[in-house]
Homo-oligomer: A and B are copies of this chain.
Amino acid sequence: MTDRAAKIRLFVEAPLQAGAEVPLSQPQAHYLFSVMRREAGDAALVFNGRDGEWLAEIVRAGRRAGALVCRERTRAQERPADLELLFAPVKKARTDFIVEKAAELGAARAVPVFTRFTNAERVRPERLQAIAIEAAEQCGRTSVMQVAAPRRLDELLDGWDPARRIMFCDERMTAPSAAAALAEAGPGPWAALIGPEGGFAEDEARRLRQMPCVVPVTLGPRILRADTAAAAALTLWQSVLGDWR
């Protein structure tokens, strides 16, 4: 098996164990063989979100299909932190960015949330899921962030599990600083909630502040764009309560 310098890392659906054959999708075969010029005998890393990461050998390489065989497990399966990102979709490029960053920053799940002032085109969860998979391939996760179907904020809060705290990224400077508030609240299941560029409606913010599981936090004195706020909130969560400690 030829071990090229820049190892390609692919998310696959098939079960992974020693000797298991892993079929490639048509886009994966195109990428691996036509774009990256890999061939039979070359190595790649594969993961499926369940069985860890495996070093695999290309055993068939065609223009539209191909297969690898798992040779050796390189990493155990990790479980991501129990951290969700609830985000109001914004413009397409910035929404893509939010999903990519949430995946890189180790969130388990991202939920597009329509708030009163959300002013976005239709959200396509399959497209966002593909971005989350690509980010997992790139950043070395063995898990894939799940992108949920869009929800309305009021409906989401109606059925909210009170055991899951909500880091509510409030735009009012009166909320405590995020790092201090997270440290005081402590570990457990969490969600970070990021509003749309127009902010939350007053009644939405009031309802959130009245829920006992909600932890209002401020992200500094400047008005952050939604994508910046999402990256900052997840960074601080990982730093205080997650795997950056």
Contacts and interface: CB of A to CB of B under 8 A. Distances in A.
Interface of A: 93, 97, 100-101, 104-106, 138-141, 177-179, 218-225, 228, 231-232, 235-236, 238-240, 242-245
Given A141-B222, A235-B235, A238-B220, A245 B177 contact: yes
Contact of A104 (B97, B104, B218, B228): B228
Contact of A101 (B93, B177, B228, B236): B228
Given A139-B224, A228-B231, A239 B104 contact: no
A77 to B, nearest CB: 14
Given A178-B239, A239-B177, A223 B139 contact: yes
Contact of A106 (B141, B222, B235): B222
A238 B231 CA distance: 14
Given A104-B228, A106-B220, A236-B236, 7 more contacts: A138-B225, A139-B223, A140-B221, A177-B244, A220-B244, A232-B235, A235-B236
A138 B223 contact: yes
